[in-house]
């Protein structure tokens, strides 16, 4: 398969998807989200593939978020469509894939980047990784499942603090929070993930797909939360704070929020 924004590597039972927009720190625009969906769908139907790793190209970023330049001028309706189509095409899709997906977090995982890592089945980080949900600094909220999956993984209080401060945590803190399972030097990250993938591929793919279903089923009773996130995300697009936050980012200055 040919992609504009991804590199797809396959060896034996392992497939690695590398998100490849290094000049934009691998920010997720809509084309990349669609390509990720297509790549994952293709790998799910390839009987040779047992485990998938998702990582970012370069040494700086896994994914630095959704592409702010692409949505800065969206209306409320376009904002909620952005969240709902992204959730369906990529974030829910990854979470419910029948094959294990490991996020190899090789640098910044911010906003939609952290939300992608959260949707993967588990995460391994390099020592230089930094993670956070900076959306409220732009006048918007996480819209790709971050308000739902982050509290599940690290607890409500820690998630609230990270979301409200728009702050970043480093790899060691992320491990302490249970956000990532392991932290390794950057040059060892992919080998480390491949080693886990090899151990997974010794086991029954059918049983693993049932395990994914069963684990996910335990979290399915909060569909309302995801719906509420999409609605609130869309509503942000109608506010002066959103206009100021996104404009300030694109103009490379600090936002001055007018507030409610």
| 108 touching ligand COA, by CB under 6 A | yes
In whole angstroms, give the CA distance from residue 130 to residue 106: 9
Note whether 38 and 4 are within 8 A (CB): no
| 118 touching ligand COA, by CB under 6 A | no
Q: What strands, in cross-sheet order, belong to the sheet with 108-110? A: 61-63, 108-110, 130-132, 168-170
Q: Strand pairing of 51-56 and 14-19?
A: parallel
In whole angstroms, give the CA distance from residue 133 to residue 131: 7
The nearer residue to ligand COA, 95 or 135, going by C-beta atoms, is 135
Q: Is 135 a catalytic residue?
A: yes
Work out how close the CB of 182 gets to ligand COA at its nearest, in angstroms, rounded to a whole number. 23
| Residue closest to 72 by CA, chosen among 254, 251, 259, 213 | 251
| 107 touching ligand COA, by CB under 6 A | no
The nearer residue to ligand COA, 91 or 108, going by C-beta atoms, is 108
Q: What residues from 22 to 41 belong to the interface with ligand COA (CB under 6 A)?
A: 24-25, 27
Q: Is 115 a catalytic residue?
A: yes
Note whether 109 and 129 are within 8 A (CB): yes
The enclosing H or E element of 130 equals strand 130-132
The nearer residue to ligand COA, 34 or 198, going by C-beta atoms, is 34
| 19 touching ligand COA, by CB under 6 A | no
Work out how close the CB of 110 gets to ligand COA at its nearest, in angstroms, rounded to a whole number. 4
The nearer residue to ligand COA, 8 or 166, going by C-beta atoms, is 166
Instruction: Output the six-digit token pair for 236.
Output: 């942000």
Residue 217, Cβ neighbours under 10 Å: how many? Answer: 9
| 245 touching ligand COA, by CB under 6 A | no
Q: What residues from 49 to 88 belong to the interface with ligand COA (CB under 6 A)?
A: 64-69
Given 115, 127, 235, 244, the catalytic residue: 115
Give contact residues for ligand COA (rule: CB under 6 A): 24-25, 27, 64-69, 108, 110-112, 134-135, 138
- As annotated, the active-site residues are 115, 135
């Amino acid at each position: 398969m040919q992609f504009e924004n991804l590199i797809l590597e396959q060896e034996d039972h392992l497939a690695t998807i590398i998100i490849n927009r290094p000049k934009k720190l691998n920010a997720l625009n809509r084309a990349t989200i669609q390509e990720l969906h297509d790549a994952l769908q293709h790998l799910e139907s390839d009987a040779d593939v047992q485990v998938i790793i998702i990582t970012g190209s370069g040494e700086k970023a896994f994914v630095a978020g959704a592409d702010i330049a692409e949505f800065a001028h969206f209306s409320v309706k376009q904002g909620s469509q952005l969240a709902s189509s992204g959730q369906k095409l990529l974030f829910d899709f990854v979470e419910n894939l029948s094959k294990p997906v490991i996020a190899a977090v090789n640098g910044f995982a911010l906003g939609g980047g952290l939300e992608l890592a959260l949707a993967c089945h588990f995460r391994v980080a390099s020592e230089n990784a930094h993670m956070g949900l900076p959306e409220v600094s732009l006048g918007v909220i996480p819209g790709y499942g971050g308000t739902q999956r982050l509290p599940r993984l690290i607890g409500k209080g820690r998630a609230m603090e990270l979301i409200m401060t728009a702050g970043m945590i480093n790899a060691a803190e992320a491990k302490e929070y249970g956000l990532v399972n392991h932290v390794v030097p950057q040059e060892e990250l992919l080998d480390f993930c491949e080693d886990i993938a090899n151990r997974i591929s010794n086991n029954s793919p059918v049983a693993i797909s049932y395990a994914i279903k069963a684990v996910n089923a335990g979290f399915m009773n909060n569909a309302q939360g995801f719906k509420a996130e999409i609605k609130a995300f869309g509503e942000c697009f109608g506010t002066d704070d959103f206009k100021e936050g996104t404009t300030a980012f694109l103009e490379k200055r600090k936002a001055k929020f007018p507030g409610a």
